[in-house]
Structure 1
Amino acid sequence: MRSCLILGSDASDEDVAAALDCGADALLLRLGLYVEDAARRGARARACALINEARGKEARGKRAAPKLFVEVAPLESELIEADLDALFGPGPDGVFLPSCDGAASLQRMSVKLAVREAQAGLADGATRIGAFAGGDPAAVLALRSLAGASPRLAALAFDDAGLRAALGLASGDGAAAQMARATVVLAAASAGVPALAPPVQTGETEAYAAARRDGFQGAMALFPGQIAAIHAVFAAGENRQRRQSSA
């Protein structure tokens, strides 16, 4: 995975169509605020419809659709059970954790996914896990435990905005932010998955080039037009992943 385009829960039909056709390796569908209300239930239903639509296009022999990930509620939230129950169902290609605090997060999510896969008649391990990492200062220190934690892990995305908010930083240039950034890169490498740089509003080429020099293997995106810039900077042959062990 080199590119992952984020789609908000309020994305228009035109936004969704552009996202499906922009060439991104993956789409991340967000479900909105962590509140059990009509808006979140509607976002779940829309995510399921999009998963079915993308798979229908593939079945009809059209261009392969991007992998579809859905950002579920945090593991500590009661909402996560409702999120997962709604998504299986069609079953997304993967789920994204809002925050990852190491092996414990992956293993808890893996158990939840295994139950839903069995109920839906899907193969055990079919659903991958992506995770935002680095946004919680305490969790940064636990990322070293990810190596070998779960073969479901697909990618780590650096949560630059979350870390800046947690530390009260105006920018991500300070020593603590740089340490967290490097920790995410190293944790991803040790787990054999790509580290994805955070999304940027402007100056994509410079930001992506800097991320590549820092060891990232791809990036998150906010707009379909950013995907081509990501793929230009992060060459496909350089996004190498090694097989993980769950031992």
Structure 2
Amino acid sequence: MRSCLILPADAEQALAPALGCGAAALLLRLGPPVENEARRRARERARLIITEARCRPAAPRIFVQVAPARSAVVEADLDALAGALPGGVFLEACAGRADLQQLSVKLAVREAAAGVAEGSTNVVALAAQTPAAIFQLGTYAGASPRLTALAYDEASLLDAMSGAIAEGAAPLSTARALLVFAAAAAGVPALDCAPKDCAKLETACAAARREGFSGMLAQALDQIEVIKAAFDAA
């Protein structure tokens, strides 16, 4: 997965361009991990998008970002998707092996109920969104055959630090390096997240490739071609 476009599940007008954008994957975000009407609508919309994408041979692979494994909200996320399981899920705030394995059990239950092969739903771990998660990066190797990639989300990590460090600070470089090493140990790609400023994208892609990242999550449709050019050439 070298290119993945992030799309809010309720972004209806952006769906058609997203399905034809040429990205390897499309990540549907359901919003803040709280149980409310907005999240329920986003789940239903995600189900419809998954169904529509399956009718398009050239559509990107669909992933849905689910709530943290230890939250009550993740059960409702997975229940809502059970009748139209996506190709994979991004696990929010994943804090190592235990979270990944806990989600894997939950997925196995839904796969059995849906009559699909166990293990058919892959997992990308958003593995560096909190300070505590950084200390669990070495636990992913051999944790689950579902693991498809480890993803780095600097914006969420900065938010979790509540201003204790600034963007570009040395500890963030350490976190990035640890995630790349953890992905290599687990035998999966490391994914970076594109900057919101498109003017910085080419530089960010080149830096990510040098650091060992294998792909990037795009935050806008017009970032996909730049990301593909940078990483498909790797």
TM bracket, shorter-chain basis: over 0.9
Root-mean-square deviation (CA, aligned residues, Å) is: 1.3
Q: Does 1:5 align with 2:9?
A: no
Q: Does 1:189 align with 2:184?
A: yes
Q: CA deviation at 1:204?
A: 0.7
Matching residue's letter, 1:31: L
Q: CA deviation at 1:124?
A: 0.7
Secondary structure at the aligned position of 2:89 is classed as strand
* 1:50 corresponds to: 49
Flag structure 1 segments of 5+ consecutive residues without an equivalent: 59-63, 239-247
Matching residue's letter, 1:222: Q
* 1:177 corresponds to: 172
Equivalent runs, 1:1-247 vs 2, <5 Å: 1-11=1-11, 13-58=12-57, 64-167=58-161, 168=163, 171-202=166-197, 203-235=200-232, 238=234
Matching residue's letter, 2:225: A
Q: CA deviation at 1:14?
A: 2.5
Q: Distance in 2 between matches of 1:220 and 1:50?
A: 19
Deviates more, 1:220-229 or 1:165-174: 165-174
What's the CA shift string for 1:124-178, capped at 9, x where partnerless?
Answer: 1000001212121111111111011111011111010122122225643212111
Kindly tell me: are residues 220 and 190 of structure 1, through their superposed partners in 2, closer, same or farther at Cα, counting changes over 3 Å? same
Q: CA deviation at 1:201?
A: 1.3
Q: Distance in 1 between matches of 2:38 and 2:169?
A: 37
Q: Distance in 1 between matches of 2:110 and 2:153?
A: 28
Using the size of structure 1 for normalisation, the TM-score is 0.90
In the alignment, is the contact (CA less than 8 A) between 1:102 and 1:145 conserved in 2? yes
Q: Distance in 2 between matches of 1:29 and 1:132?
A: 14
What's the CA shift string for 1:102-132, capped at 9, x where partnerless?
Answer: 1111111110000100000000100000121
Q: Distance in 2 between matches of 1:10 and 1:53?
A: 14
Aligned residues: 231
In the alignment, is the contact (CA less than 8 A) between 1:98 and 1:132 conserved in 2? yes
Q: Distance in 2 between matches of 1:33 and 1:137?
A: 19
Secondary structure at the aligned position of 1:201 is classed as coil
Q: CA deviation at 1:20?
A: 0.6
Q: Distance in 2 between matches of 1:136 and 1:148?
A: 22
Q: CA deviation at 1:33?
A: 2.2
Q: Distance in 2 between matches of 1:44 and 1:166?
A: 26
